[in-house]
Amino acid sequence: MAIKTPQNITILSNKIGSEHLVVALDYKNGRVATHGWTQQSNKDP
């Protein structure tokens, strides 16, 4: 969710408070891995 729709993270953070929100990223070969490590984002971590 954080990679595909980062605006939703902002909305959620504003709604519940950033102290209640954790975002974790999987990192593989210098890229953020998504979809159970089967795809890699083109965005830098």
pTM: 0.60
User: Given this model, what pLDDT does residue 44 score?
Assistant: 67
Sheet holding 31-34, edge to edge: 26-28, 31-34, 39-40
String of DSSP letters for 12-32: HHHHH-GGG-----EEETTEE
Residue type at 26? D
User: Given this model, what pLDDT does residue 7 score?
Assistant: 94
CB atoms inside a 10 Å sphere around CB 21:
12
Please tell me the distance from the alpha carbon of residue 29 to that of residue 8, in angstroms, as a whole number.
Answer: 26
**At 13, is the pLDDT very low, low, confident or very high (cuts 50, 70, 90)?**
very high
